[in-house]
Amino acid sequence: MRRRDRLKRLASRAITWLHLSDVHLCPKKTGWDADPVLSSLREDLQHMQKAHGLHPDLIFFTGDLAFGQLPDSSMPRQYDQAASFLDSIRESFRPAIDKGKVFLVPGNHDVNRSLVGRPDTQWLDDLKGDEGARTISELMRDRNHEWRSFMKRLVEYRKFLRKYKYDHVLTDAERLVYAVKPVIAGFRIGIAGFNTAWSSSREKEKGKLWLGRWQVEALRSQLDGCDFRIALTHHPLNWFREEEDPNLSVAIEESFDFHLHGHEHQGWVHTQDRHVRIGAGACYESSTKENGYSFGTIFPQEGRGEILFRRYDAAGRGWVARTVRKKAENDGRWPLRLLWLNPKLERKIEDLTTKLQVKIPLRTEAIAKTFEIKTLFRSKELTRQPSVLKVRSSGVVKVEVGLDFYSCFISYSSQDQGFAERLHADLEAKGVRCWFAPLDLRAGDKFPNRIEENIRTYERMLLVLSQHSIGSPWVEREVEAAFERERREKRTVLFPIRLDDEVMKTDVPWAAEIRRTRHVGDMTGWEGDDSYVKALDRLLRDLRKDPKPRKDKT
């Protein structure tokens, strides 16, 4: 096949997955209630193929196949039911999905808690700090008798995988993790299956689980040469010990393009820079609660994709689109921008973005005929939100307004210029629209007037506190303007961060007031890359608009 024909075929091909999670199968306990939900699920899958042409290339199940050991319902029995369930899902499609395209990871309900020893749990709880995190990674790496003791709790899950020939996810049977690289539609996809359940043993485990950084590094190293990578976990990363989070979040985001998880029973999409995290609804929790699943479809050559959410409607006893206001309003379709999946397209967009870094007069349209770009927003709006480029298959690039982060004015002392420049560059790279005096002041601008104008225009003021800025009359004036705006609008505008300890001991009235009444972000270690990355990640979380609350479920 000629290269041009191959590229044309790749451009038109989508990669589709089906994402299921948390089915909690136990006929003795929930069969009577679960049967209507799960039988109609199979009908809905058939409907989605017939109505929308959705035939998944891959099926991902992110944990909690079983309900858990009960006196009158053994886990082997529950796993027999689980095997039948997975077969029925595969066979709902025509042609049926091959078992080798089904990828599973264990969840906390897949643990047999009766096999967990109290000393093991107490030993994990007693581990602290960086030394504790290193101990966990060494435990996983060495696979000694201590590790085998922890893995007893998942012995039935391992036997289930062997009995029903899910050998492709047993490449590391001692740890129950895997890294595979199937080729789908001409793209090599890296899939990493993580074991987040090995330390699970009880209720209310949020913040008590250990993952082990070894998993991230070992699995990532086996996925070189892939076009993109997908991480599968049961637990979201905020369920792990503080010694591991947020380090784990940064490592997963840097190593994988997509992260699919279950456990919290909430279908949602989180996007951050070059990473997408997708939470799954519970496939079955109860007929009276929201049950859900999703399809994911991506077009790598076009740099786009979508997640299509479905939910069970108890009144109609069937599955319908799950819409989310301002997110997934069109039949439950949540659109994704995935420009980084096509580096050539991303570079072209970056070139176009550079050409658009000019001020656009109010109420004007700028049309660049060469690239068919049409700006649809006035310059005032572009200063309030980060600009975003959407790519259509027709080649038209549309400049729109991004709503992920609040826009920011950076207030700092000129003696902290090095830090301010780095912060500005990194925030802009993450999609945060910033006003930064050295770049945004025009020749002839009246400095005080322009400063106050932008404090009024931008949604947040990032105040860089240091021994230099606390003694700066210019910074004091900017803080007073921010305080005045807060009183007028009755909302928080000022976000302080500190580079040293001066604000914690100063007698300067306005700085002391900030110390007493505000949380001051700590960036004292900003010159060290690891400390800065962690602090920047926390700052980005604070600047993100309308974060979706997570449900604490077990």
- For 315-346, the pLDDT digits (tens) are 899 999 999 988 888 789 999 999 889 888 77
H helices, E strands: number in the chain = 18, 23
Question: Which pLDDT score, from 0 to 100, does residue 455 have?
Answer: 64
The answer to whether residue 170 scores a pLDDT higher than 60 is yes
* Best CA proximity match to 231, nearest among 240, 244, 218, 245: 218
Q: Which domains does the chain have, with CATH numbers?
A: 3-341 (3.60.21.10), 343-401 (no CATH), 408-543 (3.40.50.10140)
Question: Which pLDDT score, from 0 to 100, does residue 537 have?
Answer: 87
Cα 217 to chain centroid distance, Å, stands at: 18
Determine what percent of the chain is predicted with pLDDT higher than 90.
Answer: 53
Of 240-249, 438-447, 451-460, the range with the highest mean pLDDT is 240-249
Torsion of CA 116, 119, 125, 130, to 10 degrees: -110
And the tokens for 409? 């004015």
More confidently predicted of 450 and 483: 483
The answer to whether residue 141 scores a pLDDT higher than 90 is yes
Q: What is the pLDDT of residues 148-157, one digit of tens each?
A: 999 999 999 9
Q: What is the pLDDT of residues 33-46, one digit of tens each?
A: 888 999 999 999 99
List the single range of 317-326, 392-401, 537-546 with lowest mean pLDDT.
392-401
Question: Which pLDDT score, from 0 to 100, does residue 456 have?
Answer: 64
3-state secondary structure (DSSP) of residue 135: helix
The DSSP string of 353-392 is HHHT-SPPPTT---EETTTTEEE-S-HHHHHHS-EEEEE-
The answer to whether residue 391 scores a pLDDT higher than 60 is no
Task: Please give the backbone phi and psi of residue 342, each rounded to the nearest 5 degrees, phi first.
Answer: -125, 90
For 230, the enclosing helix (H) or strand (E) is strand 228-232
And the tokens for 240? 């792990």
Q: What is the pLDDT of residues 179-195, one digit of tens each?
A: 999 999 889 999 999 99
Section 376-386 average pLDDT:
34
Average pLDDT of every residue of the chain: 83
Which pLDDT band, with edges at 50, 70 and 90, does 546 fall under?
A: low
Note whether 154 and 108 are within 8 A (CB): no
